Structure 1
């Protein structure tokens, strides 16, 4: 299964409103897979940066991200000496497990909702997240509330705080679901609303 996976690192796509430090994962297998990946950070000369730790937002380094046939992404986080010198990553597949429930190719869309179920901006203090699955397959997802840093020009934007909203959530084929914001997630939303850059992202999981 691991031979079906290939990877490409995109530090900055150059497109506005696009997340930085993306790991693009291509799955050529007909089955949905849950890989466990390991990473080495590389500089612009393809030299390993031994003191830079690479972790992920969606969990492809711990088998938490489900990648269907086609293209998926994870978001990488770098920490340690020379973390801003990362130009590429080397990816190793430790294991890739077949997932029994197939997933469709499209992302599950998220929408911030107020306490009355009305749609509001993700930068506001929202009370729930609406999920919409446009594919003909049911899917399980998790939601990440991501706080981004504000780097200087020429430095990629990094996820500095990632808070899960709810738990593993089932979204039916061509269907919707609503996840309430509570606990640590509610505290994070209260802390970061009306302030810095944030994202609400649903990713396929198990």
Structure 2
């Protein structure tokens, strides 16, 4: 999950891993069919309420190099993919709330655009406002959670940047399209974000300072690929930040 060029992260591991509290909320299953082993099977006419539980682990940094800072792991104990809406409270090293710090997410777990599969999903947090660099932990609260209309992928969709001639390039070069590959035996739907990271002083976590959507909701067929053109604000961001020290292209399950 690397983000930097030549190992440049600009931040030291200073955050302890913290287990955050989770809860569940009721919902109804509006899915017309469920997928088992790549085949569509009918579901019962009676909606099944959400009965699982979400729990969370926040990582300010991780010991491995070239890993993303400020992520929250989301564990989903239900046997279906779900769409949560979460509220995050930033905490200092004494576990006191930092009321002036605003928390935003990259994938949208705070606004219902992230689909979390059975097992584990994740989101990337962004902090701003007075005291943003004092965040040492985050408390998560489940506002709502419902079963997803679209099953989330078991494996991550991979992204290959392409130049104007269709040749493979890396994420640090200017690219005009992204080829998405799905190794799962069923189709998945994802959104894409182009991220630019800061280069903070030692002792502070690295965070995404620019987040630009690329394209819209994209369906990637089973064991197949899809092509997303880079246009508009995304193309402008790539032109401006290509050859920078820390950029990333992140797909995430959505609906």
TM-score range, shorter chain: over 0.9
Aligned: 1:187 with 2:236? yes
**Does residue 4 of structure 1 match 2:53?**
yes
What is the CA distance between 1:102 and its match in structure 2?
Answer: 1.5
Matched, 1:103 2:152: yes
Decide which moves more: 98-107 or 47-56: 98-107
Question: Is 2:222 the counterpart of 1:173?
Answer: yes
Tell me the CA shift for residue 136 of structure 1: 1.7
User: 1:101 offset after TM fit, Å?
Assistant: 2.3
Partner of 2:73: 24
Question: In the alignment, which residue of structure 2 is the partner of 1:198?
Answer: 247
**2:109 corresponds to:** 60
Shift of 1:116: 2.0
- Equivalents in 2 of 1:63, 1:99: separation in Å? 10
| Structure 1: distance between partners of 2:179 and 2:197 | 22
The answer on whether the counterparts of 2:84 and 2:112 sit within 8 Å (CA) in structure 1 is yes
Moved more, 52-61 or 3-12: 3-12
**Match of residue 122 from structure 2:** 73
Q: Indicate if the aligned counterparts of 1:103 and 1:137 stay in contact, CA closer than 8 A.
A: no
Tell whether 2:170 aligns with 1:121. yes
Find the residue that maps to 1:184 and give its secondary structure.
helix
Which has the larger strand fraction?
Answer: 1
Larger radius of gyration: 2
CA contact (8 A) 1:123 1:194 kept: yes
What secondary structure is seen at the aligned counterpart in 1 of 2:72?
strand
Q: What count of residue pairs does the alignment treat as equivalent?
A: 206
Equivalent in 85, 88, 91 of residue 140 of structure 2: 91
* Structure 2 stretches lacking a partner, 5+ long: 1-23, 26-51
The alpha carbon displacement at 1:180 in A equals 0.5
Kindly report the root-mean-square deviation, in angstroms, between the aligned alpha carbons of the 2 structures. 1.0
Q: Is the 8 A contact 1:70 1:105 kept in 2?
A: no
SS of equivalent residue, structure 1 residue 26? strand
Other-structure match for 1:13: 62
> 1:163 matched to which residue of 2?
212
C-alpha distance in structure 1 between counterparts of 2:54 and 2:160, whole Å: 30
Whole-angstrom distance in 2 between the partners of 1:84 and 1:104: 34
Normalising by structure 2, what TM-score?
0.79
State the distance in 2 between where 1:158 and 1:117 align: 31
User: 1:123-146 CA distances to partner (integer Å, 9 max, x unpaired)?
Assistant: 000010111111122111000000
